[in-house]
Structure 1
Amino acid sequence: MTYQGVLTKMTTEFTEPIQYYLIFASDFIHMNQLLDKNIQLEFVGYQCLSCGLNKPIYRQGFCKSCFFEVPQAADWIIKPELSKAHLDEEVRDLEYEKRVQLQPHIVYLANSSNVKVGVTRKSQVPTRWIDQGAHEAIEIVEVPNRYLAGITEVALKNYVGDKTNWRNMLKNDIQDEDLVVWREKLKHYIPEEAQAYYLANNTETNIIFPVHHYPEKPKSLNMVKSEKYSGKLVGLKGQYLIFEDDTVFNIRSNEGLVVKLSIA
């Protein structure tokens, strides 16, 4: 059976284990059902997630011209402390920026390779944690806009990491941490503007991924250079496909690629 479409990040369902779905325009694939099966990936072309043209992807699924124009790729996406919608100031598209920024946001701790601090819209909990491959996570504050979440994250980054080591995450080279203890340690460093939004009584969320075999030495697949790859799928974690030969493929970082997926 063969499917073809443009890659976008896998949709997930919060169950034990997590359920993964690869969505194409006219089809979807329940990826959990492909575990322990041989699949082939073939690079077909590009399709920018904004303009839809067959142009090389620059970043985040967008061609270079769209990346520097669309509001979905503005700097405040990666650096929420740069948000300005609460000031009624436009960066690229004020209507879009108000819609995204002026809604409840969560500052959280997640443990994927190490404890890290992050920001997400409340509506994206626990999806954001799943996408990062975190096996445990906890909310610290819930604030009414993205700016407050951003300055809280910046303040806490002085005391805890904000990056995931993707290799350790995929190798499952991790240790359980008491995130309630971490939250208590960090609450004193929350900026004054966000202190009133501290969450004192919530508990950890634990996440189980469908992985039958973890790679010892993960090798990242470059689909554009390789053009074609075949292997046995043995795991799904974060937004990665994990194969038996230790090859891993990050769906999220390859958004905008048109691929053909064949099931042996």
Structure 2
Amino acid sequence: MLYEGVLKKMQTEIGSPIQYYMLFANDFLNVNQVINKELRIHFLKYQCLHCGEDKPIYRQGFCKNCFFDIPSAGDWIMRPELSTAHLDQEDRNLDYEKKVQLQPHIVYLANSSSVKVGVTRKSQVPTRWIDQGAHEAIEIVEVPNRYLAGITEVALKEYVSDKTNWRKMLKNDVLDENLSEWRTKLKSHIPKEVLPYYLTESIETQLEFPVLKYPTKVKSLNLDKTPKYQGTLVGIKGQYLIFEDDTVFNVRSNEGYYVSVQVG
């Protein structure tokens, strides 16, 4: 089977294990079904996710011009504490920013390599945790806008990391953490204006990834340097494809790359 199109973040479906889908313009691939099979990935061109032009991808699937222009790539995406829609202040497009920022957000703890704090829209639970390769996660607060989530994350990352060690996550080199205990310990460090939104009850979510074999020494596939690659798929974790030769491929970080994917 041959699939062709622009890479986008894999879509996921909660299950035991999690189901992964690569979506193309006129087709889709359930990636779980091709585990233990050989895949050939061939980089053909760029296709910016906004303008659609064949320009080098700068960040987040966008060419450089689009990245610095479109509202969906504003600084507040990566740094929620910079959100200003709740003040009626525009960054790039106030209508868009209100739509995204002024909705319920969750601050959570997740464990993908060790305990970390993060922010996501409520509508993205548990997708965000899956994308990070977290095998367990727990919610701390549910707030009405992105700004409050952002300042909570800033306060808590003084005590726990806000980053995932992706190499440890992929090797399944994971510390055993009690997220409920961490959640209780961190409560006293939540900003005063956010404390009313603290969730009095929260249950850990456990996640199972479809992996037959974890890599021992991670080698990351770079399509710009290696436009053609073939290998046997042995697992999927986070947004990574894991191959038998310890090569890993981050689908999300290659958004905007137009490829062919051949199975078998």
TM-score of Structure 1 vs Structure 2, range by shorter chain: over 0.9
Q: Deviations over 1:225-260 (max 9, x none)?
A: 111000000000000000000000000100000000
Q: What is the deviation of 1:201?
A: 1.0
**What is the TM-score with the length of structure 1 in the denominator?**
0.99
- Within a 5 Å distance, the mapping from 1:180-259 to structure 2 comes to 180-259=180-259
- Within a 5 Å distance, the mapping from 1:75-94 to structure 2 comes to 75-94=75-94
- Within a 5 Å distance, the mapping from 1:1-264 to structure 2 comes to 1-264=1-264
Cα distance in 2, alignment partners of residues 154 and 29 from structure 1: 38
Cα distance in 1, alignment partners of residues 157 and 222 from structure 2: 31
Name the Cα RMSD after superposition: 0.5
Counterpart secondary structure, 1:123: helix
Counterpart secondary structure, 2:214: coil
Cα distance in 2, alignment partners of residues 227 and 160 from structure 1: 38
Q: Deviations over 1:118-172 (max 9, x none)?
A: 0000000000000000000000000000000000000001111000110000000
Cα distance in 2, alignment partners of residues 135 and 222 from structure 1: 26
Cα distance in 2, alignment partners of residues 230 and 244 from structure 1: 10
Cα distance in 2, alignment partners of residues 105 and 48 from structure 1: 28
Mark the runs of 5 or more structure 2 residues left unpaired by the alignment: none
Cα distance in 2, alignment partners of residues 158 and 200 from structure 1: 23
Q: What is the deviation of 1:200?
A: 2.1
Cα distance in 2, alignment partners of residues 56 and 199 from structure 1: 44
Q: Please identify runs of 4+ aligned residues in structure 1 that moved more than 2 A.
A: none
Counterpart secondary structure, 2:231: strand
Q: What is the deviation of 1:178?
A: 1.1
Counterpart secondary structure, 1:224: coil
Q: What is the deviation of 1:88?
A: 0.3
Cα distance in 1, alignment partners of residues 158 and 11 from structure 2: 33
Matched letter for residue 125 of structure 1: V
**What is the TM-score with the length of structure 2 in the denominator?**
0.99
Cα distance in 1, alignment partners of residues 21 and 169 from structure 2: 21
Cα distance in 1, alignment partners of residues 84 and 175 from structure 2: 38
Cα distance in 1, alignment partners of residues 32 and 224 from structure 2: 25
Q: What is the deviation of 1:176?
A: 2.5
Q: What is the deviation of 1:175?
A: 2.3
Equivalenced residue count is 264
Cα distance in 2, alignment partners of residues 204 and 131 from structure 1: 17
Mark the runs of 5 or more structure 1 residues left unpaired by the alignment: none
Cα distance in 1, alignment partners of residues 52 and 193 from structure 2: 41
Cα distance in 2, alignment partners of residues 200 and 45 from structure 1: 50
Counterpart secondary structure, 1:160: coil
Q: What is the deviation of 1:28?
A: 0.3
Cα distance in 1, alignment partners of residues 14 and 3 from structure 2: 25
Counterpart secondary structure, 2:154: helix
Counterpart secondary structure, 2:194: helix
Cα distance in 1, alignment partners of residues 25 and 102 from structure 2: 30
Cα distance in 2, alignment partners of residues 152 and 202 from structure 1: 17
Q: Deviations over 1:160-199 (max 9, x none)?
A: 1000110000000002211110000000000011000001
Counterpart secondary structure, 1:66: helix
Cα distance in 1, alignment partners of residues 208 and 263 from structure 2: 25
